[in-house]
Amino acid sequence: MTRRLVIILGVLAAVSVVIAGLVWRSTHVFVVEEGVGEPVLAGLADEANNVARIEISKGTEKLVLIRDGDVWKLEKSGYPASGEQVRKAIVGLIEMVKMEAKTSNPSKYLLIDVDKPGEADSRGRLVVLKDAAGKLVGQIILGKVAIGKAGPGKDAQYVRLPGDATSWLVKGAVMQSVAVSDWVKTRFLKINVDSVSQARIEHADGEVIEVRRTGKSGSGSSVFELLNVPEGRKPLSSTFIKFAATDLANLDMIDVRPAKAGAKPLVSSSFSVDGGMKISVKMFDGGWVQVAVVDKGSDTAVADAISARVDGWQFLVSKDKQGQILRRMDQLLEKK
């Protein structure tokens, strides 16, 4: 997100907030509550370009995003965050306009999720924005989203400013999350499954599974065979054999961390695609996966793009995907 883009976003958001406030006041003349029609985070539009740190807390969990030049990153790992997601978050906060004052009774904050974060059972989400020097730019506690409360097809949200007793229903909604997967491009490996030609899966105990494509079915789907089938056993259908290879080709992350050297993988897999590119997929304790391009093949541009995304990182994948990567030979054979 470049400096020019942030400035433009700030100006546009500020204009929209002013217009929204004027429209609200002109159509709700009966409202006498002080502050109605005003932006919740006054001044944020002017300071949007200076935001360099975003802290999001829910319960005892916390996620921090930091700006490094024009790139946003996860502070914990240093992995690049989605600039588009950060932009949406900042603009969403700028555009929030006060609609109606709500409870100022702390015992009722939990009803709309605007209680103070920090305890395991708290539900409010505290968002803190700071500049590069650590100066506070804005902070807000985000609560429940009120679907359609801001008009047809327009959502509202319950919020509260830290230190203020009064909570508010505001126009607009921002779903700030402490989940890493909500701030990054989760799919870190994406390969056309019909281009996969073969795969090898080697477990730490020495068990090896090898599958290869033998052709196409009448419908155009790839047909795979299982190699080295144990004597007296029969493999499952080609579709199940195919999954052993193609389940490696599309991977989504839940979390990310820098790669750790020296650890022994639970399973070391690799697969090849048309054009000769070969990719390794290793899984470690806890469901962490490390991907590397072993051979670029003929499509060097695609290979380089994959390497730029995965080199030096390990990715936590879902339980379902862990099970697929850890597949055993017996799971590809018919029952005895």
Same-domain pairing of 46 and 95: yes
My answer on whether 127 and 254 are in the same domain is: no
**pTM, full prediction:** 0.84
The verdict on 145 and 225 lying in the same domain is no
| Tally of domains in the chain | 2
pLDDT of residue 10: 52
Residues 169 and 300 occupy one common structural domain: no
Question: How far is it, in rounded angstroms, from Cα 79 to Cα 185?
Answer: 11
Q: Rounded distance, CA 300 to CA 303, Å?
A: 5
Half-sphere exposure at residue 96, Cβ-oriented, CA atoms within 13 angstroms: 30
CB atoms within 10 A of CB 141: 24
pLDDT tens digits in sequence order for the chain, 336 residues long: 455 444 445 545 554 544 555 554 555 544 457 789 999 999 999 999 999 999 999 999 999 999 999 999 999 999 999 999 999 999 999 999 999 999 999 999 999 999 988 888 899 999 999 999 999 999 999 999 999 999 998 999 999 999 999 999 999 999 889 999 999 999 999 999 999 999 999 999 999 999 999 998 888 788 999 999 999 999 999 989 999 999 999 999 999 999 988 889 999 999 999 999 999 999 999 999 999 999 999 999 999 999 999 999 999 999 999 999 999 999 999 997
Domain co-membership, 205 together with 287: yes
CB 178 within 8 A of CB 62: yes
pLDDT at residue 191 in the model: 95
Q: What stretch of H or E contains 288?
A: strand 288-295
pLDDT at 116: 86
Q: CA triplet 177, 125, 157: central angle to 5 degrees?
A: 95
pLDDT value of residue 332? 96
Together in a domain, 209 and 157: no
Q: So what's the pLDDT on residue 87?
A: 95
pLDDT, position 31? 45
Q: Are residues 60 and 142 in the same domain?
A: yes
Mark which of 182, 212, 234 sits at the end of a domain.
182
- pLDDT in the model for residue 218: 80
Which of 148, 182, 216 is at the close of a domain?
182
Please state the three-class secondary structure of 88-105 as a single string.
HHHHHHHCCEEEEECCCC
Range of the domain at 66: 3-182
Q: What values do phi and psi take at 258, rounded to 5?
A: -60, 145
The single-letter code of the amino acid at 230 is: P
Instruction: Give Cβ neighbours of residue 169 (< 8 Å, ≥ 6 apart).
Output: 99, 100, 102, 146, 149, 156, 157, 158
Place of tokens 């052993």: 244
CATH number assigned to the domain comprising residue 245: 3.30.1490
Instruction: Clarify whether residues 76 and 158 are in a common domain.
Output: yes
- Out of 128, 156, 182, pick the residue that ends a domain: 182
pLDDT of 71: 96
Do residues 304 and 198 both lie within one domain?
A: yes
The tokens describing 112, both together, are 């709309």
| pLDDT on residue 216 | 84
> Do residues 242 and 143 both lie within one domain?
no
pLDDT at 30: 46
Q: Which residues contact 75 (CB under 8 A, 6 or more apart)?
A: 64, 65, 66
Answer yes or no: do 200 and 169 share one domain. no
Task: Give the sheet arrangement for strand 125-130, strand by strand.
Answer: 71-74, 61-68, 53-58, 125-130, 136-146, 156-160, 167-171, 97-101
Same domain, 73 and 155: yes
DSSP 33-62: -TTTTSBSSTTHHHHGGG--EEEEEETTEE
